[in-house]
Structures are given as C-alpha cells and as structure tokens.
C-alpha cells in the first residue's frame, strides 16, 4: 500500500464528488420574443402603412433627421428603430449598396446592428439616463462623424422619461443636427413628450396588431419550434396579447413550457386563469334566464377551478359586444367559431337595444367592482345578482310611460302593467293657452315663458301636443313638458316637436291682437279728433302705463 496520494487527488479534498460536466456551448436559451424579433421590414407585422411611408422616403432620398415611434408595448417600436438603422447603413453584400428599405442582412453593418454591437448605432434607455448630463454627452458626440457607417444613429427608448431640462438641452441639436446624424425615439406615452420635440420629429403611430394576424404569426413560430398548438389555443393567446406581439410570444413561450410537447386551449386557459367560451356562454344563458341558483353554482365552480373573476366578467362583456355587433350588422370577429357567431346572431334577435346597452353598463360596473373589491369572487357574485334583479326593472322609456300613467312598451321587462289612473282629470284644459296657464299655476314660470315666447302651436288635442320650436330648446324639453302637463292636468300627455307648420307664438299672437285693437281705437272719430287737437298725445294701454 502506497502512502503517496493519488495523482488525481487535490490537497484537502477527500470527498467522492460526482463528475462535473461543462455546459454545452449552445445551451443558452433565448426567449421567443427575442429569437423571433423582426430582422426585415417584411417580418414586421401589422405596420404596413409605416413601412410604405419609410420605403418611399428612403427611395426618394427624403429621409427625416428625427423619427418618433409611438404605440403600445410590444408592437415593434425598438425593432422598427433598429430596422431603420439597418436600412440607412446597409452597404449590400458587395459593399456598394446604398440606403434601402430591404437591407441585405449579410453585410457587416447589418450584422453588427442586429447583434447590437455597431459602434455608430447607439442605443440609450431614457428610463435610466434621464438627466441633462446624459443628453450633453450626445450633444458633444454628434459633432464627430461616424466611424464606419454612413450615418451615426441614436436610438432613445422610452424618450418620454427624459427630464424637462434634458429635453430643453436636446432641442437645438434635434432641430439642426449634422447631416451624418439621425435620431430615432420610441415611446409608449407620447402625450408626455413636449410639443417642441414632437414638432421636430417625423411621427409614426404603430398600431395594435390585429388578433387574427397575431394568431397567424404565433402559428408560424410554433411550427418553427416544432410544437403542436391548437388553433383555439392560438386564438386565446392572441386575445390575451391585446395587440402586442411581444406579450403574445411571452405567453406562447410559457404555454410551451407548461405543456408536454403540445399546447391545448385548456392548458392556456388554465395557465392564464381564463374561462373557456363554453363556460361563458352557459353563464350568460343563466343570467338572461334569471336563474339565481344556477348562476351562483357556476360562479362557485369557476372559483374552485381558479378562474379569475375579472376574466369571467370580461368574457361576458366580449359576448355582449359580439351580440351588439351582430345586431348592428357589423362583420363578425374572424377568431369566432361558427357556433359563437350563430349564438350571437340568435341573441341579437331576442334582445332589444335597450337591454343590450343596460346589460353592458351593468357588466362594466361589475368589472370595476371586481377590480377594486377586497374579495373579487364576492364582488363578481354581487355584480351578476344585480344584473338578474335589474332585468325586472323597466327601462327609462317604460318608466316614463309608467310615471305618466300610460302602459309600458311590450319590449320592457316590467313585473306588472301599471294601469292609468281611473279618476277624472284634476284640471281639464280645452286649448293650448289654458294648458300654459295651468302649468304656470304649478310654479313652472320658466317653462311657461318658453311656451309663450319660443313655441308655435301645430296641433292640440286632449293628451297630445304637436309644437314647432321657434328658438333652440334643450333635448329634454318634450319630456319636461309632458311631466309638467301631467302634473298640471292629471292626465298623460304626448309631446311631439316638428319643423312643419305652426302658428305664431302666444306672445306674438298677443302682440298682433294688441296692434289690431290699437288700430281700431285710432279709427274711432272721437279719438282721431282728440289726437288732431293734441298732436303730442300717445295711445297707451293701462298695463304699459303701470309698467
């Protein structure tokens, strides 16, 4: 037995350690949002108008010195800025090319910009470089020409976070930069960018990417990754992305990791805490049927499954939005299944516009309650129960008819028909002036003044008025007049405004009657003789004299 240590032993180590393996060179994983970042303008989805404008500007040599790219998160603002940097600095595979909307992607400038290592393309995050000193560094550097590129390009992300002094320091350079310098700004909150900066930039508003285009893009990514994803799962991810390609790719990345080689719609909904469309439709049916116990049972079941109450309310709102669009004759959502479109069309025929609008407002209020309540499940329960009980309430038109003593419209959901009063009218009137007098006796002098001065009578019948406005009246005038006439006479009145026909106003009629009476008095022989004897005398009424 040799006392000499083994040649593989290290001093101080007597442990039997497992063999250490070195990580593979290609084990570094890039998330899908970075891996599938657009490398050409043709890969930039949903921004065709901007690409066309940029292409024309580059082709005609009308390249602005500063661009401002604005839009919600994940629509491609920073990617577009890098593509513009490529387009302006591309030299082509042979090194002889010029600015182009289709950069080659193989020349050194293109590859260096794609890798983020080009010395003349400087990216700065304004969120962490907000001060005037950071901007002064840019101002000093722009005086020097580009090292190897055609243009020196500054990409400033989230530019709205620069301080006021930093913006002010940048203004002069931004307005008159050297010919070799281009500025590319990106922001999600363009309203926070000073107007003095906006006026010096060429602005591009990047749109939210439509859900159908996102679903198609995610399908290509899934195919490239060798993962099977259900169409319904792609649609669910596209809706959850809310127009953001980056958000959608992050959700897809998570869904692939969540599944086992494939992604199903159920997995996506479970991962996001969403309710499936079938569950939402069943819940909507119980709501419209007014089934309290079934509604509570479905809510409790969704709670046990971990479905977010806010997601459930949003699902109901999406369904009502689809029903409303169907009733209005609008084009159906391309991501809707045929079954969903048929269900929306069927509900659109059953529900009135008033019911649709009321249900939408109740759901919107319920979503607000769920978002602020300490217990979202309890808030969702109370919101849906409120909707069921509100179904027994009349809509405003029916309520007005009930208050006026009439019968509610057949489309209104009213527990019972309220009969008109059986007693005789309290203060029957036979003509329009008598009605105006009755309204004024109730203390409605302002309304009486409008009726005397601003209205011409078209037709009068007990309980019915047709009037011609001689001056602008408020939108609630017919309703106020009907209520005042009901209060003054004890009977229901229908008031209609029209632009056709109409007598002079009561005030004008009184003035014309007084003028006729004055003319008749002046024609009296005794009065004429008196006026001839006293030329300065005037004829006045007793009311005028007292006034």
Which pLDDT band holds residue 539 (cuts at 50, 70, 90)?
A: low
The closest alpha carbon to 154, from 198, 119, 121, 106, belongs to: 121
The pLDDT value given to residue 458: 86
Domains of the chain: 32-205 (3.40.50.300), 211-272 (1.10.8.60), 277-390 (1.20.272.10), 432-503 (3.30.70), 507-546 (no CATH)
Determine contact, residues 36/223, Cβ cutoff 8 Å: no
The pLDDT value given to residue 516: 80
Q: Is the pLDDT of residue 172 over 80?
A: yes
pLDDT, tens digit, 9 for 90 and up, residues 1-27: 444 444 444 444 444 444 544 444 445
Which pLDDT band holds residue 185 (cuts at 50, 70, 90)?
A: very high
Burial string for 225-251 (b: 16+ CB within 10 Å, else e) reads: eeeebbebbbbbbbbbbebbbbbbbbb
Confirm whether pTM is higher than 0.85: no
pLDDT, tens digit, 9 for 90 and up, residues 290-329: 888 888 998 888 888 888 888 889 889 988 888 888 888 8
pLDDT, tens digit, 9 for 90 and up, residues 30-57: 888 888 888 888 888 888 888 888 888 8
For residue 546, what are its two tokens?
Answer: 């007292």
Backbone angles phi, psi at 13, to 5 degrees: -115, 115
Determine contact, residues 50/114, Cβ cutoff 8 Å: no
Question: What does the pLDDT average to over 265-269?
Answer: 80
Which pLDDT band holds residue 105 (cuts at 50, 70, 90)?
A: confident
CA atoms within 13 A on the CB side of 21: 4
Question: What does the pLDDT average to over 253-277?
Answer: 78
Burial string for 493-506 (b: 16+ CB within 10 Å, else e) reads: bebeeeeeebeebb
Q: Is the pLDDT of residue 112 over 80?
A: yes
Per cent of the chain over pLDDT 90 is: 13
Higher pLDDT, 152 or 259: 152
Which pLDDT band holds residue 275 (cuts at 50, 70, 90)?
A: low
The pLDDT value given to residue 337: 65
Question: What does the pLDDT average to over 417-423?
Answer: 38
C-alpha 450/C-alpha 469 separation (Å) is 10
The pLDDT value given to residue 392: 53
The pLDDT value given to residue 368: 92
Q: Report the chain's mean pLDDT, rounded to a whole number.
A: 80
Tallying the residues shown for the chain, one arrives at 547
The pLDDT value given to residue 428: 66
Higher pLDDT, 78 or 400: 78
Question: What does the pLDDT average to over 141-156?
Answer: 90
The pLDDT value given to residue 429: 78
Q: Is the pLDDT of residue 155 over 60?
A: yes
Kind of pairing, strands 121-125 and 181-187?
unpaired
The pLDDT value given to residue 415: 41
Determine contact, residues 359/258, Cβ cutoff 8 Å: no
The pLDDT value given to residue 391: 59
- Bridge partners for 125 per DSSP: 157
Point out the least confidently predicted range of 347-356, 490-499, 536-545: 536-545
Which of 5-9, 147-151, 258-262 has the highest average model confidence (pLDDT)?
Answer: 147-151
Which pLDDT band holds residue 475 (cuts at 50, 70, 90)?
A: confident
- Bridge partners for 183 per DSSP: 66, 154
Helix (H) or strand (E) holding 460: strand 455-461
C-alpha 172/C-alpha 462 separation (Å) is 76
pLDDT, tens digit, 9 for 90 and up, residues 435-457: 888 888 888 888 888 888 888 88
Point out the least confidently predicted range of 92-96, 229-233, 278-282: 278-282
Point out the least confidently predicted range of 286-290, 373-377, 378-382: 286-290
What 3-state DSSP class applies to 367?
helix
The pLDDT value given to residue 394: 54
């Amino acid at each position: 037995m040799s006392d000499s240590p083994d040649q593989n032993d290290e001093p101080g180590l007597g442990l039997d350690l497992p063999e250490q393996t070195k990580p593979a060179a290609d084990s570094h994983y890039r998330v899908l949002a970075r891996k599938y970042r657009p490398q050409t303008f043709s890969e930039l989805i949903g921004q065709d108008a901007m690409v066309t404008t940029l292409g024309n500007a580059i082709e005609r040599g009308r390249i602005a010195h500063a661009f401002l790219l604005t839009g919600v998160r994940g629509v491609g603002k920073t990617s577009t800025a890098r593509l513009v940097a490529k387009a302006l600095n591309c030299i082509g595979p042979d090194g002889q090319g010029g600015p182009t909307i289709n950069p080659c992607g193989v020349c050194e400038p293109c590859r260096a910009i794609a890798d983020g290592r080009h010395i003349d393309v400087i990216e700065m995050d304004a969120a962490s470089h907000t001060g005037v000193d950071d901007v002064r560094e840019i101002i000093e550097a722009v005086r020097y020409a580009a090292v190897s590129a055609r243009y020196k390009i500054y990409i400033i992300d989230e530019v709205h976070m620069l301080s006021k002094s930093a913006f002010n320091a940048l203004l002069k350079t931004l307005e008159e930069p050297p010919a070799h310098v281009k500025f590319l700004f990106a922001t999600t909150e363009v309203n926070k960018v000073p107007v003095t900066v906006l006026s010096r930039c060429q602005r591009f508003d990047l749109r939210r990417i439509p859900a159908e285009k996102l679903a198609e893009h995610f399908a290509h990514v899934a195919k490239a990754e060798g993962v099977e994803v259900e169409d319904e799962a792609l649609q669910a991810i596209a809706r959850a992305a809310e127009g953001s390609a980056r958000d959608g790719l992050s959700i897809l990345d998570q869904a692939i990791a969540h599944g086992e080689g494939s992604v199903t719609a159920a997995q996506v909904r479970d991962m996001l805490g969403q309710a499936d469309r079938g569950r939402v439709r069943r819940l909507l049916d119980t709501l419209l049927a007014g089934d309290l116990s079934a509604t509570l049972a479905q809510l409790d079941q969704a709670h046990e499954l971990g479905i977010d109450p806010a997601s459930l309310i949003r699902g109901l709102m999406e369904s009502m939005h689809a029903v409303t669009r169907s009733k209005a004759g609008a084009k159906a959502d391309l991501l809707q299944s045929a079954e969903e479109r048929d269900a929306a069309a069927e509900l659109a025929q059953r529900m009135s516009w008033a019911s649709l609008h009321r249900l939408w407002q109740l759901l919107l209020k319920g979503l607000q309650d769920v978002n602020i309540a300490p217990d979202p499940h309890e808030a969702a329960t109370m919101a849906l129960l409120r909707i069921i009980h509100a179904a027994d309430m009349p809509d405003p038109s029916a309520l007005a008819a009930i208050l006026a003593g009439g019968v509610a419209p057949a489309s209104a959901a009213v527990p019972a028909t309220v009969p008109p009063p059986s007693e005789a009218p309290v203060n029957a009137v036979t003509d329009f002036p008598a009605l105006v007098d009755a309204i004024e006796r109730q203390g409605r002098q302002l309304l009486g003044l409008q009726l005397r001065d601003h209205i011409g009578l078209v037709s009068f019948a007990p309980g019915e008025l047709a009037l011609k406005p001689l001056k602008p009246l408020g939108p609630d005038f017919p309703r106020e007049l009907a209520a005042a006439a009901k209060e003054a006479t004890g009977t229901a009145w229908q008031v209609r405004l029209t632009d056709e026909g109409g007598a002079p106003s009561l005030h004008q009629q009184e003035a014309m009657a007084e003028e006729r009476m004055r003319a008749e008095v002046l024609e009296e022989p005794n009065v004429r003789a008196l006026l001839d004897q006293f030329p300065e005398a005037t004829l006045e009424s007793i009311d005028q004299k007292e006034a």
